[in-house]
Amino acid sequence: MRPIRILLVDDHAVVRNGVRFVIEKQPGWEICGEAQTGREGVTAAKELKPDVVIQDITLPELSGMEVLRQVKKALPDTEVIMFTAHEMEDLVHQVFDAGGRSYLLKTDDPSHLIEAIRAAAEHKAYFTPRVSQIILRRLQSGSMGERPAPGNSLTSREREAVKFIAEGRTNKELADVLGVSLRTAESHRAAVMQKLGLKTIGELIRYALRNGIIEP
């Protein structure tokens, strides 16, 4: 089998070390890089151009979903495996809708990770039995063709704003991060709330948690 170059993106060193231990036992597989934040992950992917990215869905600085979208946009041939502790049906659907190849739980047997990497290297999807049931329920409910949730149409900057607002950051902090004036940041905040159809910060926080933008 041809060599497989893999990038790890997770903010917990113990997780990265565990994944590295599993991967380095496979002949020809190589960890070409590691990143601890979402931004570092996107930068590393663009620089290293790995075959496969293994990443968490909750990451500092940039959400895992946004990392997935940016990696797939910049590197269509790089496949992404979501490796997370969150077993949420909405997130499973979003990952596959955004181009992810597998959704694995950190409690899954390591053999699933190995099979998922093999499948991703061949540009194929891999489903654990648990995720297969989630996908099947969606198919049976006839929801595959439903209109995407409003959050799926957010721009990268809007997603960044959602993350900062949900984390309780001030408008000034948001302005500094986005590199805009305070008034523009205030307008940006209001526009995001309106676009999502949300009226309170509590609703925004629940939205951010449900979509993996912030960690519980």
Q: What letter does residue 51 receive in the DSSP assignment? A: S
* pLDDT at position 29 over 70: yes
In this predicted model, which residue has the larger pLDDT, 157 or 82?
Answer: 82
* pLDDT at position 37 over 70: yes
Strands ordered across the beta sheet of 29-35 = 29-35, 4-9, 52-55, 79-84, 102-105
Q: Does domain 4-141 match CATH 3.40.30.10?
A: no
pLDDT at 146: 40
Asked whether this chain's domains 4-141 and 150-210 adopt the same fold, the reply is no
Between strands 102-105 and 79-84, the pairing is: parallel
Contact (Cβ atoms closer than 8 angstroms) between residue 29 and residue 6: yes
Average pLDDT rounded to a whole number, residues 50-72: 90
pLDDT at 147: 39
Nearest CA among 23, 8, 97, 113 for reference residue 55: 8
Q: Domains of the chain: which residue ranges? A: 4-141, 150-210
- Average of per-residue pLDDT values in the chain: 82
Q: Residue 58's beta-bridge partner residues?
A: none
Distances (CA, A) of 118 to 28, 52, 75, 128, 210: 12, 10, 19, 14, 30
pLDDT at 137: 67
Lookup: tokens for 200: 């309170």
pLDDT digits (tens, 9 = 90+) for 100-130: 888 888 888 899 999 999 889 988 888 888 7
Give percent of the chain with pLDDT exceeding 90: 31
**pLDDT interval class at 216 (50, 70, 90):** low
Distances (CA, A) of 37 to 34, 127, 183, 192: 10, 26, 29, 24
User: What pTM value is reported for the model?
Assistant: 0.66
Contact (Cβ atoms closer than 8 angstroms) between residue 93 and residue 211: no
Lookup: tokens for 106: 């950190």
Contact (Cβ atoms closer than 8 angstroms) between residue 195 and residue 150: yes
pLDDT at 84: 85
Average pLDDT rounded to a whole number, residues 53-68: 89
Contact (Cβ atoms closer than 8 angstroms) between residue 75 and residue 49: yes
Average pLDDT rounded to a whole number, residues 156-164: 80
Q: Does domain 150-210 match CATH 2.60.120.10?
A: no
**pLDDT interval class at 144 (50, 70, 90):** very low
Average pLDDT rounded to a whole number, residues 35-51: 94
